[in-house]
């Protein structure tokens, strides 16, 4: 491989790693750790799956705000309180976490593995 191909390959790898890594200021926890947080009255629990997915299977105390609606409904959330985000696998909730981070939210927690990783 010549130098140009190496540079392209390295940029590609960098972008994939950056996309998969959580953004600064976003914490990740397991499903078991979520249960400890449910006692905290100042924590908001948001499930970003579609309404149909939420209706079929959801966990208390999570409230459904689909990822597609999150930007326009973020005013329903308190920026001063922690927000725990959940989806099916952890990918959509990480995308939601990044969206909220851009809007100035600072206490963001993503559930690692989503409902699929919940034990």
Residue among 76, 72, 73 nearest 44 (CA): 76
- Tokens read off for 6: 């190496």
The residues assigned a catalytic role are: 87
As a whole number of angstroms, the distance between CA 64 and CA 115 comes to 14
As a whole number of angstroms, the distance between CA 111 and CA 74 comes to 19
């Amino acid at each position: 491989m010549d130098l140009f191909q190496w540079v392209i390959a390295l940029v590609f790898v960098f972008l994939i790693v950056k996309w998969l890594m959580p953004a600064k200021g976003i914490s990740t926890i397991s499903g078991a750790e979520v249960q400890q947080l449910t006692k905290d009255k100042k924590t908001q629990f948001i499930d970003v799956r579609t309404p149909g997915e939420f209706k079929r299977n959801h966990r208390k105390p999570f409230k459904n705000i689909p990822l597609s609606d999150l930007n326009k409904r973020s005013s329903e959330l308190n920026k001063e309180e922690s927000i725990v985000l959940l989806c099916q696998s952890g990918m959509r909730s990480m995308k939601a976490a990044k969206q909220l981070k851009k809007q100035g939210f600072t206490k963001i927690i993503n559930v690692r593995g989503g409902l699929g990783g919940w034990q």
